[in-house]
């Protein structure tokens, strides 16, 4: 049902944990399935220099959180805002249709963290 990449990111999540003094924080949830995801970012010169996550949810939610941190780190904020929901699923070699909402959460949480960064900077 899940790809090897999904299972690897679930069993060995990258960049997991709360970040001290983040520049931006984005939290999103899906009341239907109960998943809750928070992305933390540090930004320097418009580049995401550090990123982490905390996720309460299913294995797919944890895997997508882990994957989006790997995709986004080192990208400019403009590049990171272009990461789509499908990009996350594709990087994980696909998700079952009933779990696609998890990649939606990951992309939405990243965008929320970037929006929060912009709000705090202005």
> Which whole number is the average pLDDT over 92-119?
90
The residue range of the domain holding 37 is: 2-119
CA 43 from chain centre, in angstroms, equals: 15
Positions annotated as catalytic residues are 33, 102
What share of the chain has pLDDT > 70, as a percent?
98
Q: Which residues, in sequence order, are CB contacts of 64 under 8 Å at separation 6+?
A: 9, 88, 89, 92, 95, 102, 103, 105, 106
Nearest Cα to 95, choosing from 11, 6, 12?
6
The helix, strand and coil proportions of the chain, stated in percent and rounded to the nearest 5, come to: 50, 25, 30
Residue with tokens 């929006």: 115
The whole model's pTM is what? Answer: 0.94
Give the pLDDT of residue 48: 98
pLDDT at residue 30 in the model = 79
CATH at 48:
3.90.1010.10
Span 75-88, pLDDT tens digits:
999 999 999 989 99
Residue-averaged pLDDT of the chain = 93
pLDDT at 99: 82
pLDDT above 90 for 118: yes
**With pLDDT > 90 as the criterion, what percentage of the chain qualifies?**
79
How many structural domains is the chain composed of?
A: 1
Question: Looking at residues 28-40, what average pLDDT do you find?
Answer: 88
């Amino acid at each position: 049902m899940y790809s090897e990449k999904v299972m690897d990111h679930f069993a060995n999540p990258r960049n997991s944990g709360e970040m001290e003094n983040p520049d931006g924080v984005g939290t999103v949830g899906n009341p239907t399935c109960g998943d809750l995801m928070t992305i933390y970012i540090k930004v320097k010169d418009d580049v995401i220099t550090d990123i982490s996550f905390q996720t309460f949810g299913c294995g797919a939610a944890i895997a997508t959180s882990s994957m989006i941190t790997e995709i986004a780190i080192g990208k400019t904020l403009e590049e990171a805002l272009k990461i789509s929901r499908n990009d996350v699923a594709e990087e994980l070699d696909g998700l079952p249709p009933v779990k696609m909402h998890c990649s939606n959460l990951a992309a939405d949480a990243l965008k929320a963290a970037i929006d929060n960064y912009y709000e705090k900077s202005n």
